[in-house]
Amino acid sequence: MKKTASIVDNLAWFRSIGLLTEEERLIVESIFDPEFEFAEALGLAESIHVHLKVDDTEALPVEEFAKRGGEKTTGKAGYRKHYFPDGLNMIFSTIPIAQDDLAETPESWRPRPFVDHIGIDLREETDSVRAGFGSLSKQAGELGWGLIPQGGKGRPVYCCHIEVAEKRWIYPPEANARRAGIPLEFSFGQLKLNDFLAGCDLRPASPVPENT
């Protein structure tokens, strides 16, 4: 997965219409820098996704998405996923997708839109990709960043009717200026449609103390 002019242009467009802040745009784009902490895993990825919490998925400018190549691939009430060119996927939701959503109160409610997490999708189930995925825990530990695994050992991770073999959630500190505390999701394995099981394994809350 490499940065392309199309990815840069679409991220700038999302900034221009107010779905990304300038800080968020720069953070997403910076994962393509050679200095990105998990550049090796990104090099093995098929795609990335940016998951935004929004006020209303029905109010999104989906016709403009389509003009920019944003094909809708998944949709339900409160959840939309659009595939843009060159492996940039944008997800928008109002439904709970994280433990943080369930903990929100009127006092702690966070104004929308905002980036909930950045995903790096390792779809090829080859030995080299599996090894890259397996090295993430050690890398996160060396950085002193939080890590929570999901799935594995025959237990997939579910999101609605979609499943993937396993995930690693990595949490940069809030004080890290290049990452600003935005969680990184690394998923391993092909996405599978499951017509028999449904549910959502929520993104775990960060184990990293705030302001560290």
* pLDDT value of residue 160: 64
Strand partners, 165: none
| Residue 208 resides in a domain | no
* pLDDT value of residue 188: 97
* pLDDT value of residue 89: 96
| Residue 209 resides in a domain | no
Q: 6-20, 108-122, 187-201: which range is least confident on average? A: 187-201
| Residue 185 resides in a domain | yes
pLDDT band (50, 70, 90) for residue 41:
very high
Q: What is the pLDDT of residues 71-121, one digit of tens each?
A: 987 767 899 999 999 999 999 999 999 999 999 999 999 999 999 999 999
Which residues constitute the domain of residue 76? Answer: 5-200
pLDDT band (50, 70, 90) for residue 161:
low
Q: With pLDDT > 90 as the criterion, what percentage of the chain qualifies?
A: 81
CA distances from 136 to 47, 125, 126, 182, 197 (A): 17, 16, 16, 17, 29
| Residue 211 resides in a domain | no
pLDDT at position 198 over 60? no
Residue 130: is it exposed, middle or buried by C-beta count within 10 angstroms (0-12/13-18/19+)? middle
Q: How far apart are CA 51 and CA 72, in angstroms?
A: 14
Domain count, the chain: 1
| Residue 136 resides in a domain | yes
pLDDT band (50, 70, 90) for residue 208:
confident
pLDDT band (50, 70, 90) for residue 192:
confident
| Residue 207 resides in a domain | no
| Residue 210 resides in a domain | no
* pLDDT value of residue 195: 56
| Residue 111 resides in a domain | yes
Q: How far apart are CA 106 and CA 94, in angstroms?
A: 15
Statement: the pTM of the whole predicted model exceeds 0.75 = yes
CATH of the domain at 19: 3.10.180.10
